[in-house]
Chains A and B, each alone.
Chain A
């Protein structure tokens, strides 16, 4: 079983749609959790950290369920510029600085006009 598993893509949605990505992780020792986005042939960029209490940044909401080892990302009112691959990431250290960021394969999102 892979350490981080994500929904297989691609997700093709119209502008304005709400889209949800799910992710599960296998190692209960994981301490910090993130969503990164990666545009085609570009580097991953930190979208947001994910906290146990859930957190929101504008149109983006992230949730963490430690008991189920489950992470989610909700995007409301999708924009064309949201088209990218979304990577679910876990780390054994707090804050995400410690070495081994473990990435899922990513889920590709295409937002259509």
Chain B
């Protein structure tokens, strides 16, 4: 039973570029959440998807957008990358009223 899987593992981009990160939820999970974790900080909630719609959003600019597909997998897109977007991006999946389980994350470095 595969857990939450994310790709790629690492990514290096330059300022102004765009990036797409991918997440496959744990088998049977229908809800996907994305978090950003800067060095030395706890994860910060970006948004959550359920039934292919953004259900809740944290305090992130519109440069951060996402999508959920019919198979429950999800993408996180970030446009016009800034140096401050360098972080570990975590995807978590869950079922209703169950705790969220995290993938290994994508480490994004902006040069």
Binding site for A on B (CB under 8 A): 31, 33, 35, 40-45, 47-48, 55-56, 58, 90, 92, 94-105, 107
Stretch of A43-51, A59-67, A76-84 that contacts chain B: A43-51
Bound-state Cα–Cα, A46 to B3, Å:
13
Binding site for B on A (CB under 8 A): 4, 34, 41-46, 49, 87, 93-106
4 smallest CB-CB distances across A and B, nearest first, come from: A103-B42, A95-B97, A99-B56, A43-B102
Bound-state Cα–Cα, A44 to B43, Å:
9
Are B98 and A103 neighbours in the complex by a CB distance under 8 Å?
no
Are A105 and B104 neighbours in the complex by a CB distance under 8 Å?
no
- Taking the closest CB of chain A, its distance from the CB of B45, in whole angstroms, is 4
Are A98 and B90 neighbours in the complex by a CB distance under 8 Å?
no
**Residues on A with beta carbons closer than 8 Å to the beta carbon of B35:** 101
What are 10 A-B interface contacts by the 8 Å CB criterion?
A: A43-B102, A46-B99, A93-B97, A94-B97, A95-B96, A97-B95, A100-B58, A101-B33, A101-B43, A104-B42
